[in-house]
Amino acid sequence: MSAAESEARAPRRSNAERTATARRKVIDAAIGCLYEHGYTATTTAMIAQSAGISRGALLHHFPTKVDLVLALVEHVIARQRTFYIEALRAYPKGRERFIAITELTWQAWSEPSGVAITEIMVAARSDHLLGDRLPDLFEMMEASQLAEMRKLGHLAGIGDERAVERFSQMSAATIRGLAIERMFKRDRRSVDSSMALLRELKVIYTDLLLAQDA
């Protein structure tokens, strides 16, 4: 069967499928550009070139840079959530899963997509258009993450939800900072050492909370 015949027999994708594919292609290109160049240096023209499409085609899907960035954040949040759900299955329910989420969060936020999100968060301070729209999205993200952490804590036998929230917020902020620092250090041993300490603290804090509820 020739390539032309195979293509002819292949099911045609709907307009919605083609649109979704094009948007994901642009978002993936944007993640790469943000990771390599940072928010300020990343332009829609640069992203279009990286995605292999015209700038006009990009603007058809995302009229402004902020529109693209917000879609990127939503995409990465959804992808991270899927990653956590699947990765946690490798750990026994309870204490082990509650402890493991810190390591999994480090894996997610030290990837290019996680660093791209951190770049966007920092940029929102000086980009007023972004700053006007991003906080609501991040508040929704944080609320969802804290709800998941409370659930993991409850399944581990921890009753102090406020303590779970405080440690989760501290861990998330530490991990984002270490992910950025890791980008600029030739010798990453200090970053790895700091992350190892955070893992140790999670174990100690978890057992302390469990002891309080015993």
The stretch 171-176 carries a mean pLDDT of 92
Name the pTM for this structure.
Answer: 0.84
Specify the pLDDT at position 6.
Answer: 53
Structure token pair of residue 23:
């948007």
Q: How far is CA 65 from the centre of its chain?
A: 19
Q: Report which of 171, 115, 107 is spatially closest to residue 142, judged by C-alpha positions.
A: 171
Could you tell me the domains of the chain?
65-213 (1.10.357)
Specify the pLDDT at position 8.
Answer: 52
Examine the pLDDT at 7 and tell me if it is beyond 60. no
Structure token pair of residue 66:
């902020």
Predicted confidence band of residue 188 (pLDDT cuts 50, 70, 90): confident
Which amino acid, 152? Answer: L
